[in-house]
Amino acid sequence: MMALILPVEGAHPQFGEDCFLAPNATIVGDVIAGNQCSFWFNAVVRGDVNSIRMGHKVNVQDGAVIHATYQKTKVIIGNHVSIGHNAIVHGCIIHDHVLIGMGAIVMDNAVVHSHCIIAAGAVVLEGTVIEAGSIYAGVPAKKVKDISQDLIHGEIERIANNYIHYASWFKSTDPSSKL
């Protein structure tokens, strides 16, 4: 069993080196991912209606959805970004070193600046600009505090690096999951 990778309107998903795709991940259309990205179980990345660009060391965890709006918004994701379980990232920009918590929603035209945590279950409304170095939580998401260097290194970077490690467990047992 292999991940579902499909072209849409002539656009084929492209992957950098050392990426992991879970057997039931779905990646379609105009998607370009950097090196050491991982797409986990039941993740859906739909570059069918607009483009999705991802930097290096991005992990799209179980059940997460990345999508955009036809002819209006695209998705741009930086480096060292973790998209938590069942999160929705839709038509927005996410800069480097960001953690999108489990079940969080980031809507069209939102911008999440670097070194941020969007708490689990938070809803970042359309057009919201998330201040760099901050933690946002709630519905709608509001700034709750500045982020410490300990959280930047201890959470954001640790999680991004852990997912590279977790992917290695599967790559060693399933050669079809390697890209």
Tell me what pLDDT residue 179 has: 59
Write the CB contacts of 45 (distance below 8 Å, at least 6 apart in sequence). 13, 25, 26, 27, 28, 31, 39, 52, 60, 65, 66, 67
Instruction: Find out whether 117 and 130 touch, Cβ atoms under 8 Å.
Output: no
Q: Does any domain span residue 138?
A: yes
pLDDT, mean of each 10-residue run, the chain (179 residues): 92 97 97 98 98 98 97 97 98 98 98 98 98 97 93 89 94 58
Q: Does any domain span residue 164?
A: yes
Q: Does any domain span residue 112?
A: yes
One-letter amino acid at 140 equals P
Q: How many domains does the chain have?
A: 1
Q: Does any domain span residue 99?
A: yes
CATH number at residue 70: 2.160.10.10
Tell me what pLDDT residue 25 has: 98
Residues making up the chain, counted from first to last: 179
Kindly report the backbone phi and psi dihedral angles of residue 76, in degrees, each rounded to the nearest multiple of 5, phi listed first: -125, 125
Does the model's pTM come out above 0.75?
yes
Tell me what pLDDT residue 173 has: 57
Tell me what pLDDT residue 153 has: 81
Q: Does any domain span residue 135?
A: yes
Q: Does any domain span residue 179?
A: no
Write the CB contacts of 107 (distance below 8 Å, at least 6 apart in sequence). 90, 91, 92, 123, 124, 125, 126, 127, 128
Tell me what pLDDT residue 177 has: 52
Q: Does any domain span residue 103?
A: yes
Domain that holds residue 80: 4-174
**Secondary-structure breakdown of the chain: helix, strand, coil percentages, each rounded to the nearest 5:** 15, 40, 45
